[in-house]
Amino acid sequence: MINFDKLNHYIKNELFAYDSPILLHRPVFSGNEKQYLIDCIDSNFVSSVGQKVVDFENQILEYIGIDHAVAIVNGTSALHIAMQLVGVTHNTEVITQPVTFVATCNAISYCNASPVFVDVDKDTLGLSPEKLESFLKDNTKQTREGPVNKISGKRISACVPMHTFGHPCRIEEIADICKKYNLPLVEDAAESLGSYYKGKHTGSFGDIGIVSFNGNKIITAGGGGMLVTNNQDLAVKAKHITTTGKIPHPYEYYHEEVAYNYRLPNLNAALGCAQMEQLTGFLKEKRILADKYNDFFQDLDIQFIREPESCHSNYWLNAVLLANREERDLFLESTNKNGVMTRPIWALMNKLPMFSKCQTGDLSNAEWLEDRVVNIPSSIPTPKTK
């Protein structure tokens, strides 16, 4: 039996010594956020045109080590544009994982395409290369346009793996498989800023990657996302169609296609710039917290989820693995009742009503994880809690 009194006391009094509830993840604004917002207001450029947007894009592309970055209003919109750019269109299919936040599948739907769910690995919580290759080998035929699903007859237009909780999946192997099958790779790195696979930053393995800066992410712009790529043509097109498709001109308004008002406001970018200046320190604090959790849960005989082999994780959202669903539910009930916010892993995407009829492979690993994974408080300690 888990010693819940010991667990709740440790989290509330030794890790996060502030009044309940102890949140899953709260932002820390301890740098130049206020000053940069004032600078932005003083400049009169507070919407989608402004120097802070350019500065934020440059900070991200330099940090990730990629050629181009395009600031987007949020991560979901960034995914939508990324998939559209690689050719996800009406009546096609996109391979993704069932263990993900709903935004991944919503973005597929925005393109009028359908997700196909392939299982994850237990150690990475992300798309399994073996299951991906097996699905493509057994269920598709190769054409000039790429793989076509033998069952539905639809073209598979992209593969979208996600780095769950900031832990990189085996993205290099996935990229090799996608290249073999002529399948565009869109990398959902929404949760993994600061995470690396074999020394290379997540988001930089595919045709396009995306990052999110939602209020609960490792850095936040109060919202916001970023599309990252080494392909200049894709970057130019992304900036164009997220800026309403307007032809650049000093004063005339001429729009050449139906496009989107998806550019990140300068105010949000100002927050993002200040947060990026603190990212290295945030990552250090997150790793210290993860090490403390790992030691503590060993005493409780509960498995703390560590970074996978060949990975350097940002430990954005920490998680533990319980013995079964019954133990998971007891864990959730006790912690939440005592002011410690915990949550189960997301409901599997194929179990949601809007995606319940989508094709799936064998999802036994995902189902096993759904019964056992719980997220625990993962905020960066503020000066008050140190």
What would the pLDDT profile of 309-340 be if each residue is shown by its tens digit?
999 999 999 999 999 999 999 999 999 999 99
Cα–Cα distance between 41 and 47 in angstroms, integer? 10
- Residues 281-310: what's their mean pLDDT? 96
**Each residue's pLDDT tens digit, 211-223:** 999 999 999 999 9
Sign of the torsion angle spanned by Cα atoms 83, 87, 93, 94: negative
pLDDT band at 344 (very low <50, low <70, confident <90, very high): very high
For the chain, the distance separating the N- and C-terminal CA atoms, rounded to the nearest angstrom, is 30
**Each residue's pLDDT tens digit, 52-97:** 999 999 999 999 999 999 999 999 999 999 999 999 999 999 999 9
> How do 225-229 and 68-72 pair as beta strands?
antiparallel
> Is pLDDT above 80 for 18?
no
Domain ranges of the chain: 4-28+278-378, 33-276
Cα–Cα distance between 370 and 237 in angstroms, integer? 38
**Each residue's pLDDT tens digit, 183-236:** 999 999 999 999 999 999 999 999 999 999 999 999 999 999 999 999 999 999
- Residues 292-317: what's their mean pLDDT? 97
**Each residue's pLDDT tens digit, 96-148:** 999 999 999 999 999 999 999 999 999 999 999 999 999 999 999 999 999 99
The confidence score (pLDDT) of residue 49 equals 83
Query: How big is the chain, counted in residues?
Result: 386
Residue pair 163/128 in contact (Cβ under 8 Å)? The answer is no
**Each residue's pLDDT tens digit, 150-166:** 999 999 999 999 999 99
The matching CATH number, chosen from 3.40.640.10, 3.20.20.10, 3.50.50.60, 3.40.50.2300, for 33-276 is 3.40.640.10
Residue pair 160/95 in contact (Cβ under 8 Å)? The answer is yes
Residue 98: cis peptide before it, omega within 30 degrees of 0:
no
The confidence score (pLDDT) of residue 385 equals 40
SS3 355: helix
Amino acid identity for residue 320 in this structure: V
Nearest residue to 319 (alpha-carbon basis) of 99, 9, 95: 99
The confidence score (pLDDT) of residue 384 equals 46
Distances from the Cα of 221 to the Cα of 35, 37, 50, 217, 224, angstroms: 14, 11, 15, 9, 6
The matching CATH number, chosen from 3.40.50.1820, 3.90.1150.10, 3.30.460.20, 3.30.70.250, for 4-28+278-378 is 3.90.1150.10
> Is pLDDT above 70 for 382?
no
Q: Which secondary-structure segment (H or E) carries 192?
A: none
The confidence score (pLDDT) of residue 1 equals 82
